[in-house]
Structure formats: C-alpha cells, structure tokens
Structure 1
Amino acid sequence: RSLEGLGFELPPIGAYGVGMVFLPQDESVRSKIQRLLEEYAQAEGQEVLGWRDVPVDNSGISQTARDVEPVVRQIFVGRGGNCNSVQDFERKLFVIRKQVEHRVTASLEVGAGGFYLPSMSARTIIYKGMLLASQVGDYYLDLLSPTFTSALALVHQRFSTNTFPSWELAHPFRMIGHNGEFNTLRGNVNWMKARQQALTSPVMGEDLAKLWPLIDEGQSDSASFDNALELLVLGGYTPAQAMMLLIPEAWSGNALMSQERKDFFEYHAPVMEPWDGPAAVAFTDGVQIGATLDRNGLRPARYVVTKDDLVILASEVGVLPIKEENIAHKWRLEPGKMLLIDTDQGRIIGDEEIKETLIAKRDYGALLRESAVSLSDLKAAKTQKVSRDTRGLLDIQQSFGFTQEDIKFVLTPMAESGQEPTASMGNDSPLAVLSDKNKSLYSYFKQLFAQVTNPPVDPIREELVMSLISYIGPKPNLLGVDYSTVTKRLQVSQPILGFDDYEALLNIGQLTDGAFDSEVIDTTFVRDDGPDGMERALSAICEQAERAVHKGKTILILSDSAVDQARVAIPALLATSGVHH
C-alpha cells in the first residue's frame, strides 16, 4: 500500500528483496551511493525495481542522535534468473551489499551520519537507529501501521560497553542481537582473515572472492560476530549448526555428554575457533529464529511459551504483560544450550532435538578416526633427537630477559605444582611503556576485554568449561559443508611442549607417513648487526616461511635455540606475528 505512486509493483514474496539503507545527508554523495547500489545489483543479474523514502518522525529523538541522523531509504531488488531459490537470492543480495560497502569505504568520504546497510534480504527488514527502545516505533512510522505484521521479531536495546553509540552499531544486526562481550574478538577476526586464501565454497562459488574483507575494521564485537554468522549460514550451514560452531557448549570434560555429541564438537573444533565470552545471542535468518547462551552461562536468558503459540525470550521475565493462566511453559536457557523456532514447520525445537538431528547426519566418530592425529601418541624413536642444552642455565635465562622475580614467583611455582601461580589482586608495577627498566615485548600487551562486565572465572573449580587443547597444522575448509575432503589435524593436549613433543614435531613427516611435514626456521640474528639486522632477519624469516609453505610444509617451527654470545633471539611474539600476518 505504501508503494502506491512510486511507479513500480512488487512481485510475489520471495521474488524480491528489500535493502534498508542509511544514506548521508549530503545529496551528491547520496546520489553516488544509490547509483552504486543499482549498478552492483544489475551486475549481479538482479533487477532494480525502485526506491522508497522510509517515513520517519525525528521530533522525539535526542539532539545528539539528530545531529548524525542519516537519510533512510529502501531499495527494492527483483530476483534475477540466475537465482533458483530464495536462498540463492539471499546469497546474491549478500554479495551485492558487501561489494557496495567495500566500494563506498574505499572511494567516498562519507563521514558522520554516513552510509550503512542495516539489511538487504528477501526475508528480513531491520528498523534500528541511535534510539531508545521506546522511540523506535514512534520514529519509524511503518511500525505504527496496523497492516505491518511479522511471524517473528528480534529486538534488542544495548549499552555501548566497547564502542560509542551510533546509528550503524545499534542492535539488531543482520542476523543477531547480542547481550555480552566476545573477549576473543581480535583472534577471531585475525583467523578469519587468515582463512581467505584457502577458503572455497560449493554454494558461493566465485562470488566468495567478492566478500573480502568479510569483517570491517572498527566494528563492534557483535557486528563482527554477525558477519561471521552470515558467511556460515549463506555458505551452507543451518543457523543452528553455525551457532554451534561459533559458540560451542562445553564438551571435552563433560562426563554426561554422549560420545557422539563429543565427536561432533571435537571434529569441528579446528574448523572454527570459539567466539568466547559472556554472551546471550538471539539469531534469525528470517525462517528460523532462536537463541543460545555461552558455555559458562554468564548472561541471563528466560523464555515463556503461551497457550496461543507466542514465544517470548528476553533477559528477564515480565518484559511483556502475559497473564499467568495463558502461559503453557516457561524456563531459562542453560549454559551452552539453544532454543529454536522454525516458522516453516510451525514448531519449537529444543536443544536436545536440534543437536541430535545435526549429529545424526554424519558419523563424526569415523571422520575423527580418519583425520585426528594426537601428538602425545607419536613416538620419535630412531629419529632425529633434540640436543639437550649444555650451556649455563643463568646465561640462557639472562639472554631471554628473565628476572629474579620471574624465576621466584612465576616459574618456580609452576614447575613445582603444575599450576598457575596465585597472587593477590592488582598489579602495581608501571606500564611497560612508562618503565625505566628493560621489559620483554610481552609486557607491552594486555588482554583486551570489558573487565567491568566480565565476571571472574575460576579455572580450577570451573574446569568443566576450560580446555588447553590446541591444533597445529592446516585448518580445514570452513565452508566445506559437504565433508568431501577430510583434513588431517594434529592435536596438542597443552601449549607447553616437552623435548619428546618437539622431537615428534621435527620428525612429523616420518611419524605420520607424510600427512604432515615440518621445517625449522631460525629466529636469531647477529648481535653486532643491531636493530637493522633484526629487521632484515625478520623479513628473511617471513620469506623463508612463505617458501616453506610453497614447498608443501604444513608445520613451521620457529626456533630461537641458536642464541649464544654472538646471536640474539628475535622475541617469539614478534617473529610469530610477523609470519602470521
């Protein structure tokens, strides 16, 4: 009805998509962006049906929000002949959106109140902004229409814990609303970048290359997680399976979990690193809508099911007034558990059914037996041995910058007890950058997380949700959803390697019949060459690493064991990050 007089008609549902677009107030820039959207849509074989101004009323919003308020428009895109299904169309709209975002970021000065695409989909439309929850309905006049209906709705009002408030960072994002923090964000984003060259997708095909960079710099942790979820869902995973990869429940130490479920999580562990931290995440692809809780259960999530088939999930009960006699069921999300509503099937699916259905599709135990190699099971007998260091212990300690305090209060307790040393809360030592003493490179870096809103976790009493298991070697194809290629994975039980472990890595090619192959790269440089010598050595290390990969080496061992009076070790943190990036 609101399209009357705009000069175009809409095809049937599923045959068109709607892009919700935040545009700059500058008319010339706005026109350029609109042309870009049309050009990319047409280049991808889709039909641009027309544009619509979204009616808004900004009289009730704050002056701060009004100062950076965008122009809100909708673009309507008809499904092209190269899309055989709505899901194919969703992928094309995703590709169009990402290309336009990259082009605008690279070529136009947008500035405050600039360009952003809250949604571009044939299934969902996102109305959001730098608004209070109570202002959304009054700001977007569409929401006041009695004919505006939906089978599902995802609503979230957030507090800006890690970022400043803005129109584009308001929740929800394209697929999620998120209460919490992802403390592993930097690592998750870096690993996603590292996958770019090796990633292939049977459903995305050549379009996959158009998506990068997948996660833009400067976003919030929630926006970055949303980008990752989009890739998985549009790359072939179901929303529930994608969420199980991104936020897995605690499994390795859970004696009550079935072996089949453990096999599922163990098989997928090297496929995707957990996005870890306190998190309650509601998610939807427009057909299914659900929610999951982090494995520690550090955010509240409660739900109510009414007798007239309304499901309400929120951080607490009583968000909407529901009479007690109309409630059929109420409960809470438990740590690592999931709730799902499928609008196609018209039913609620509980955590047990969700996961058992997914697990039953493959024999993950068989896949593990085919792919998993445990470092502790490898024996380095009759192969190259590591020569034990005969140099003075004090000389080695001094060459790596250890202090008496490190030896007494950190290393000795760890060696004697096998546990992390305990200490009183607080650290009154000066920041490394302000200290007048020589500090190791590690001292300049701190964990990045929102400390105030992250409850402390005890790794001893909460051992169930902790694991030190790591994986070495090539990562499986994240979008290899057909499981046609099984990638060998080398599992390490804890991050500190002993002599036997190191010997096994040196001889990994022989011990695994060529499934893995390693190369040692020296990370020391001549002391007399000074800082320039270290820079040249670092470049040489990166070049040697690249050559080794081209030769088929699957494990690179960065070794500073050659350190002596004439050679200085490049800090392992610097050498490792140089090779990774």
Structure 2
Amino acid sequence: MTEVTPSATNGPAAQTKAPAVKNPSIATGLTRIGRTPTGFAAHGLYDPRNEHDACGVGFIVNMKGVKSHQIVTDGLAVLENLTHRGAVGADPLMGDGAGVLVQLPDRFFREEMASQGVELPKPGHYAVGHVFMPRDPELQAHIEGIIAEVAQLEGQPLLGFRDVPVDNSSLSKAPDIAASEPVQRQVFLGRGAEIESDDDYERRLYILRKVISGRIHEETKGVDNGFYVVSMSSRTIVYKGMFLAYQVGAYYKDLTDPRFETALILVHQRFSTNTFPSWKLAHPYRMVAHNGEINTLRGNVNWMAARQASVDSELFGNDISKLWPISYEGQSDTACFDNALEFLTQGGYSLAHAMMMLIPEAWAGNKLMDQDRKAFYEYHAALMEPWDGPAAVAFTDGRQIGATLDRNGLRPARYIVTDDDRVIMASEAGVLPVPEERIVKKWRLQPGRMLLIDLEKGRIVSDEEIKSEIATRHPYKSWLANTQLILEDLKPVEPRALRRDVSLLDRQQAFGYSQEDTKLLMSPMATTGQEAVGSMGTDTPISAMSDRSKLLYTYFKQ
C-alpha cells in the first residue's frame, strides 16, 4: 500500500492528502469538489475560460553567441526588477510563477554527469529533460520506468538521471503550499545512430516527450499526479516554478554555479488570472513567454483539434498520430500557444514563419503593405486562424530569439542594443542598469512588428528583411489566384420565383414580423433609407412566458 500526496496547485485551497492505493501507476489525488489540477472547474455561472492575465517578460542575448555566466546573473536581475508585474497570494511567500529559459550549459552538465560516472556525448548529440515528479518515491520509480521504456522504443539511449539541487528555504512552509512542491529531476538522453541532423534530433525528442506525456495522461485519466515535462531538448532547458521573482535564483542552485553558461536567457514573472497558478503553468514554456492574453483561445484550440484528422507532414510520417492531442484541456492560453508553435516548427516551418502565421500583422485593407506580404498573410489565413488579443510574446528555439507584438500593439515591449553585442528586451525600460554611453540603440516594438536576433548570423534581422524573405519564398500570389474563389466574381444566380400561393401576411408571420415591425421599423426604412429611432424598452411578455409561438432567437435576451 502506498500513500501518494497529489501535486496541489496553489494557496490555502491546495489539495488534501490522497488515500492509499494499490497501484502507484494510477493517479491517486482526490481533489476537493470543483477543483482541477490547475485551479477550479466550471461550476454554475463560473467558467475559468473567462479569466485573463498580464505579466512581465524579458530576455538578454549575446548576438555573437558568446556564452557566459554573467548573462544568467543579469537575467535573474531583470527578473527581480519585474517583480511588480507578478502577483502574490494570500501567503506573501507564494507567487503566481516565475522562471527562466536558457541554452543547454554543456560544460556544467558534462562535469556534473562525469561525477556520476556518465560521459556525455558531444554537444548536439545528447539532450536534457527537466521533469517535475510526484513526491511519492514509488510513483517516481514507476514514471522513470515509463521514460526508460519509451526512450528505448523511440530509439534514443537513456544516459541517466540527475537530482536537481534545490534550496526551498525561501518558499512558504504552509503545509498545503509545501505539499505542492514537486521533486525536481533531469533525464539525459543520447542520440540515435540513424539521426543525421540536429533538427531531426529535436523532432525525435518532441515525439518522445509527447509519447511519455500521453502514456501517463492516459494512465491517470487526465488527473494530475505531479508529473510534468518542463522541457526536453538538446538546445534549451527551462527552470521554473510557482515562485516570486527572487525565489528562482534562490531555489535552483544550478543557476548560481559559475560553470552554468548561456548566450541567451528568457525570463518571466507571472500575473495569473487566465488560469490558477501552478508549478507547471509558470512561464517560460518550451519556446515562449508571454505578456497579455489570447482572446481567441477557445476557437484556436478547437480548430487545432479539428484539423488533426487531415493534417500531415512528411517529417513526422506515421509518427504524427503520436502527437495528439496537441493541447490538453485545462492549459493556459500561453501553454496552448506554445504547443501550436512547437508543432509548426517541428513540422518544418521556420521559427519566424510560424510566428507570422500565429500572430499576423493587420494586413486586410492595408494599402501600404507590399503585395507579396499581403498574399502571404491571405494565403495562411486559410490555414491558421490568428491567435488574437493584446499580447507581447518572446520566443526562442535556442538558435534564434525574438519578440513580437499583436496587431494593435496593446502590450509594451522595449529593447536596447549595447556596444558589447548584447540585446536587452523587456516589458518596460530600465530593467537592467546600463551606462548610457554603452547603449548603441534603444527602441520599442511596434504593432505587428517582430524583433529577431539570429545567433548563427550574429546580428539582428530586421522586421522588413524577415518578412520579405519569407513572403517571397513561395509564389503565394499565384497560389491564391489558382485556388481562391471570390464570391463577387462568381456568375450571378437567378433568384427563385416568388411563391404566389402564400399570402404576404402568412410569409410575414412565418418569419416573425409583427405589425409593430412593419409600422415602426420597416416603413421609415423604406421611405427615408434610415433606421428608425425609438425606445429600447418593451412591455411584451418574454418568450419563455408567452403563450404565442416565438422565434428561437427571441428566447435569448441580454
């Protein structure tokens, strides 16, 4: 018999202890009524989909790709200076979430694993997965067994596991909050001999992670048991949690080790109102960190799910079925966006191309936009609905890092370029003190525009250059001309002859017209060409209480 403490998600309303179970492979957390792994379930008039958020986001990058520990130190300083953009719970030591995304620190991991007797392959030929684990040792062992089994089935050698050293002295000691802290583990994976390119290796790791998560999700019937793959890549790694900004560096000892080096760091401090705070819903995700909200989320997720039956990719082949679902129920808007971006980039789109598809500029009716670019957006509008809303999104794949604003520019983002080849971008100016004489350029992101730093090219790639290159890569104008049907260009259709066997009065009654409509609304419109003006009040019975037949829409009143 094994007692398992479920992964509580937040605050005083955290989950209670679970009962004993016979099979540790099954999720055992009994949640309170209405509670879900990431907050509260829809109940009565409450629906968690109506929540919204605003956060602090930023990054530092050395354009030439020079790695250093100073970038980590400065990134943590930026994060602490964004503290005011986050939220604090009733317990002053519990934040909504904070974290960092960095390049894989090869020297650090190589020496750490060597101390365990594990010699890592050369960079690019091994990957690190950061995993949140449940606190129960038996359940941990079961999950690690699944990871080892799936890695073998997918042809990626398992090199070993590592306990992530942490110091939780800065976290709240309230029992419910302390019980929500997961065990931090890292898994090291080799590269199958048949894998030729780095991109293909990343794709295989993506499939591997989805299979592992799918196995455990199916086993637990979707109930949170404390397991979550934070990141799994040969290029990047994420350290995050339900922290206040300063607690990230204090909690993860790796981040203060001088051997821990990177050329870029993406940081985020969360203000959670889109979903309830939890360890796994903290930012950054595997590719993005986000300030704002995506108002079209429900439609975006539904369309992604609807296309599963028809989508195809020669890069995934038959393995594409292992990726479903792209997003799980209960994820935040940023988590779903990250899932979509990852799916597109692993499916063959470049990072900038995928971002242009997901967050397009305001192109319809824009007479100043280049025709090639307008054709690009119009073509892709038929493939992907825009993920729309006030949003500043920072993104990276470890080789490029950038940020973009929504078409209305309703979330701020400012950046500076320094004389030592660094770019510092954040939700506001002044997040990191830099002497004025060292600043080469300072500017802000503009609506619909993209800032992109390519570490392989060693420079900033301008918005105009990125989009011109992508928009002219294929003949989108020709594709539109050959495939698009414009309703106005179709031959006119003769209207059906008017029925003479039904009186005008019968037709008016069939379509719900009343004497009031014809006298007070229709007559003024017919004689003056303007809509009639009148009182908005009505003394007629509501449809639900009327003894007369009513049209369906009249049953719905605001």
**Shared topology, TM-score over 0.5?**
yes
Matching residue within 270, 274, 284 for 2:396: 284
Matching residue within 405, 410, 413 for 1:298: 410
Change (3 A) 1:198 1:325: same
Report the alpha carbon displacement of residue 418 of structure 1 after superposing the two structures with TM: 11
CA distance in 2, matches of 1:288, 1:427: 58
Change (3 A) 1:413 1:371: farther
Matching residue within 217, 232, 236 for 1:124: 236
The residue type equivalent to 1:146 in the other structure is: P
Q: Is structure 2 residue 161 aligned with structure 1 residue 34?
A: no
CA distance in 2, matches of 1:420, 1:127: 59
CA distance in 2, matches of 1:428, 1:28: 66
The equivalent of 1:47 in structure 2 is 157
The equivalent of 1:307 in structure 2 is 419
Within-5 A mapping of 1:187-266: 187-266=299-378
Q: Is structure 2 residue 116 aligned with structure 1 residue 6?
A: yes
Structure 2 residue runs of 5 or longer lacking an equivalent are 1-110
Report the alpha carbon displacement of residue 7 of structure 1 after superposing the two structures with TM: 3.1
Report the alpha carbon displacement of residue 27 of structure 1 after superposing the two structures with TM: 1.9
CA distance in 2, matches of 1:409, 1:26: 72
Report the alpha carbon displacement of residue 10 of structure 1 after superposing the two structures with TM: 0.9
The residue type equivalent to 2:338 in the other structure is: D
- Deviations 1:514-567 (Å, cap 9, x if unpaired)? xxxxxxxxxxxxxxxxxxxxxxxxxxxxxxxxxxxxxxxxxxxxxxxxxxxxxx
Does the 8 Å CA contact 2:217/2:223 hold for their aligned counterparts?
no
TM-score normalised over the length of structure 2: 0.72
CA distance in 2, matches of 1:218, 1:345: 39
Change (3 A) 1:149 1:202: same
Report the alpha carbon displacement of residue 406 of structure 1 after superposing the two structures with TM: 9.3
CA distance in 2, matches of 1:122, 1:213: 23
Within-5 A mapping of 1:152-163: 152-163=264-275
Change (3 A) 1:255 1:47: same
TM-score normalised over the length of structure 1: 0.69
Report the alpha carbon displacement of residue 410 of structure 1 after superposing the two structures with TM: 10
Report the alpha carbon displacement of residue 82 of structure 1 after superposing the two structures with TM: 2.9
Q: Is structure 2 residue 453 aligned with structure 1 residue 341?
A: yes
Q: Which segments of structure 1 move beyond 6 Å, counting only runs of 4 or more? A: 400-424, 426-429, 441-446
CA distance in 2, matches of 1:232, 1:419: 49
Report the alpha carbon displacement of residue 416 of structure 1 after superposing the two structures with TM: 11
The equivalent of 1:573 in structure 2 is none
Change (3 A) 1:254 1:81: same
Q: Is structure 2 residue 129 aligned with structure 1 residue 19?
A: yes
Report the alpha carbon displacement of residue 150 of structure 1 after superposing the two structures with TM: 0.8
Report the alpha carbon displacement of residue 226 of structure 1 after superposing the two structures with TM: 0.5
The equivalent of 2:92 in structure 1 is none
Report the alpha carbon displacement of residue 440 of structure 1 after superposing the two structures with TM: 4.0
Report the alpha carbon displacement of residue 401 of structure 1 after superposing the two structures with TM: 6.8
- Deviations 1:106-163 (Å, cap 9, x if unpaired)? 1137856711111011111000000112110111110011111111111111211211
Please, which moves more after superposition, 388-397 or 313-322? 388-397
Does the 8 Å CA contact 1:25/1:113 hold for their aligned counterparts?
no
Within-5 A mapping of 1:313-352: 313-352=425-464
Does the 8 Å CA contact 2:127/2:190 hold for their aligned counterparts?
yes
CA distance in 1, matches of 2:480, 2:332: 35
Matching residue within 265, 273, 278 for 1:166: 278
Secondary structure of 2:353's aligned partner: helix
CA distance in 1, matches of 2:528, 2:363: 26
Secondary structure of 1:119's aligned partner: strand
CA distance in 2, matches of 1:333, 1:374: 35
Change (3 A) 1:256 1:34: same
- Deviations 1:73-100 (Å, cap 9, x if unpaired)? 0000001123211111111111111111
- Deviations 1:425-453 (Å, cap 9, x if unpaired)? x9999xx9x9767884797799xxxxxxx
| Larger RCO of the pair (alpha carbons < 8 Å, separation 6+) | 2
The residue type equivalent to 1:8 in the other structure is: V
Within-5 A mapping of 1:82-101: 82-101=194-213
Question: Between the two proteins, what is the percent identity of the paired residues?
Answer: 56
The residue type equivalent to 2:483 in the other structure is: S
The equivalent of 2:98 in structure 1 is none
CA distance in 1, matches of 2:413, 2:524: 40
- Deviations 1:481-520 (Å, cap 9, x if unpaired)? xxxxxxxxxxxxxxxxxxxxxxxxxxxxxxxxxxxxxxxx
CA distance in 1, matches of 2:351, 2:528: 44
Change (3 A) 1:376 1:36: same
The residue type equivalent to 1:19 in the other structure is: G
The equivalent of 2:182 in structure 1 is 70
Q: Is structure 2 residue 298 aligned with structure 1 residue 186?
A: yes
The equivalent of 2:29 in structure 1 is none
Secondary structure of 2:268's aligned partner: coil
CA distance in 2, matches of 1:380, 1:71: 67
CA distance in 2, matches of 1:330, 1:420: 51
Does the 8 Å CA contact 1:70/1:113 hold for their aligned counterparts?
no
CA distance in 2, matches of 1:427, 1:54: 66
CA distance in 2, matches of 1:304, 1:14: 31
Change (3 A) 1:52 1:348: same
Secondary structure of 2:237's aligned partner: coil
Secondary structure of 1:329's aligned partner: strand
The equivalent of 2:11 in structure 1 is none
The equivalent of 1:486 in structure 2 is none
Report the alpha carbon displacement of residue 404 of structure 1 after superposing the two structures with TM: 9.1
The equivalent of 2:478 in structure 1 is 366
Q: Is structure 2 residue 146 aligned with structure 1 residue 59?
A: no
Change (3 A) 1:66 1:92: same
Report the alpha carbon displacement of residue 236 of structure 1 after superposing the two structures with TM: 0.4
Secondary structure of 2:437's aligned partner: helix
CA distance in 1, matches of 2:224, 2:124: 34
Does the 8 Å CA contact 2:401/2:453 hold for their aligned counterparts?
yes
Does the 8 Å CA contact 1:306/1:326 hold for their aligned counterparts?
yes
Report the alpha carbon displacement of residue 274 of structure 1 after superposing the two structures with TM: 0.5
Q: Is structure 2 residue 252 aligned with structure 1 residue 140?
A: yes
CA distance in 2, matches of 1:108, 1:414: 62
